[in-house]
Structure 1
Amino acid sequence: MDRYERINALHRILKSARYPVTVPRLQEELGCSRATVYRDLAFLRDALMAPVVGDGEAGFRYESGDAGRFELPGLWLNSEELHALLAAQQLLARTGGGVLSSALAPLHQRIEGLLAEHAGGKRWPVERVRVIPHRTRRTDEHAFRTAASAVLERKRLAFEYRARSTDEKTRRIVSPQRITHYRDNWYLDAWDHEREALRSFSVDRIGNARVLEEEALDIGDDQLDQHLSSSYGIFSGEPKGWATIVFSPKASRWVADEHWHSMQQGRWLPDGRYELKVPYGTSRELLMDVLHYGSDAEIIEPKSLREQARSLLSLALSQYDRD
């Protein structure tokens, strides 16, 4: 039973109870731990404003007089839950008439039903909430299905890969570890057997993919997280160091609220600028994000990264010096 179902069940129990309901009984009926019962009661009382009264000794109930009047609000999903639900619904709608359409129809109906439950039986105008893809790249569906199958079946995968940076085509044999959706595009995290290292491959650059008979080599979650999440962006790897970026007062109002990395460090400077520090392994993606802010961002350290940014800006400026 997930949290949404538990909250609904807890509401029904308390609404119909004539006497306080003990925590052990709630544990049994909800199928959860004592700590979860207390968390759900607190969420029901503090976030949904339910008239919950009582304590752990005597039990809990709805305050007399309010039990019959209180109903769960129409929508109590948080922003992440709402995004996930509507993103799933809109992604399903975009599958068109493919193989997945009929297979995923029950899930589509379940999402619509879930939204209707939040609305008290009415239809939510979901078209008024938009999830807009950003810079989505065209993906070969065969490559995606083959890569995803290899991940789930735990089989090795052979494919041709055309690197975006050099346009060079190479042949790879990998042990797929994870399929990752990042910034509206799909990536394959895998162990490259020839290079004997973890790599991330953009699925839209994979061609002629086929699943092999050999079992995939499994890399532990700790090692995967350390390698793929320890430094900035999808092209992470082991961090080379920390980048220090300073943003203008205008840009700082945005950057101070942004999540760039789980280990980022940020502080306001006396003159209203904002200093952000992030670990990085490959500079490519970090530079793209910093240069996105134009003159409102300056890389302070390390010197090598600052020089890379200077070179990129000089090349960009040279495009406008032509007659």
Structure 2
Amino acid sequence: MERIERIHALHRILTAARYPVTVPRLQEELECSRATVYRDLAYLRDQLMAPVIGNGEAGFRYDPDDPGRFELPGLWLSSEELHSLLAAQQLMSRSGGGVLSNALAPLQQRIEKLLDDHAGGRRVPVERVRVIPHRTRRLDETAFRHVATAVLDRRQLAFEYRARSTDQHTRRTVSPQRLTHYRDNWYLDAWDHEREALRSFAVDRISNARTLDEAARDLPDEELNRHLASSYGIFSGTPKGWATIVFSAKAARWVADEHWHSQQQGRFLPDGRYELKLPYSSGRELLMDVLHYGSDAEIVEPPSLREQARTLLQLAISNYERGPK
């Protein structure tokens, strides 16, 4: 146990103690020597001004007559918590195309300083936290900041939107509900005032965003979850049915450990294959992920989704039958 963690643990022990705590018990709790216990007690009392009273024979405790409840100053985290926080910061800064890196720079410096204090001056190899973006799309930093501000300030947002599926250009005024990071890209879940419905927008397709003075309309969490999280994928909607996919025994070793949806149902079949059931609304994204497994995946139900998969596979085969263009 490192020193800052021992000080934190020592503070917890003395705060909870109704009677003096003996040095042997402190040695056991803090996993350190007798001399270290005395050094930590002195640091807590002399440097942090904690109301420590007692002696080596009777034990130590916080003074019950102290007028105020003593608390440790500043931010106190364990080494594991700090390393986890640093890893999260690296993930955010490297996976967002630099959008968040400037805003997070002061936080990173603070985290690295705390880690250095824990490590006794030993350099922390931050570069060994490796994040590889996958199919990340270019993101306009100004648009992202307007979107994030509108979400957090609970204000309406106006912007131009060019849908990738239709290439249609529209002007939208929305009440932002949630900002979602999904598959290395950002999406805005919002109430579209003109269409009077919930919609999800890819932030990389938003331009000329402007935060309005009008307060955003807040929808209940239950409604948001029902519309945005009840079916498979980012553009979920209300479920239209359940899909059943069977994976080969080879692919089962991966799929059985994967999280596809919060309501998924999975089981191993007697022959080693794996059956996965999940709710879906639009089959487009689900088909994309199932076809990713090639011959190791088969859609069993419903027949309509199975037929869509068969059609897509036939179209793919036709590209190879006629030769390159």
Q: Secondary structure at the match of 1:132?
A: coil
Amino acid at match of 1:276: L
CA positional deviation for 1:298: 0.6
Instruction: Look up the match of 1:68.
Output: 33
Q: Secondary structure at the match of 1:108?
A: helix
Distance in 2 between residues matched to 1:238 and 1:203, nearest whole Å: 22
Amino acid at match of 1:67: C
| Map 1:103-114 → 2, pairs under 5 A | 104-114=104-114
Contact 2:177–2:189 (CA under 8 A) maintained in structure 1:
yes
Please provide the CA RMSD for this pair.
3.3
CA positional deviation for 1:76: 2.9
Q: Secondary structure at the match of 2:166?
A: coil
| Map 1:1-323 → 2, pairs under 5 A | 9-13=7-11, 21=14, 23=16, 61-63=26-28, 66-68=31-33, 76-77=80-81, 83-88=87-92, 90=94, 94=98, 101=102, 104-117=104-117, 119-323=119-323
Q: Secondary structure at the match of 1:199?
A: strand
- What are structure 2's unaligned runs of at least 5 residues? 38-77
Contact 2:245–2:298 (CA under 8 A) maintained in structure 1:
yes
Q: Greater Rg, structure 1 or structure 2? A: 2
Task: Please identify, of 216-225 and 295-304, the stretch whose mean Cα deviation from structure 2 is larger.
Answer: 216-225
Instruction: Look up the match of 2:71.
Output: none
Distance in 1 between residues matched to 2:197 and 2:258, nearest whole Å: 31
Amino acid at match of 2:320: Y
Distance in 1 between residues matched to 2:167 and 2:134, nearest whole Å: 23
Distance in 2 between residues matched to 1:304 and 1:204, nearest whole Å: 32
Amino acid at match of 2:11: I
Q: Secondary structure at the match of 1:157?
A: strand
Amino acid at match of 1:76: E
CA positional deviation for 1:258: 0.7
Amino acid at match of 2:88: A
If the length of structure 2 is used for normalisation, what is the TM-score?
A: 0.74
Distance in 2 between residues matched to 1:151 and 1:176, nearest whole Å: 5
Distance in 1 between residues matched to 2:222 and 2:273, nearest whole Å: 36
Tell me the alpha carbon deviations over residues 112-133 of structure 1, each in whole angstroms, 9 at most, x when there is no partner: 1244355454222121220111
The number of equivalent residue pairs is 277
Distance in 1 between residues matched to 2:189 and 2:7, nearest whole Å: 40
Contact 1:21–1:61 (CA under 8 A) maintained in structure 2:
no
CA positional deviation for 1:280: 1.2
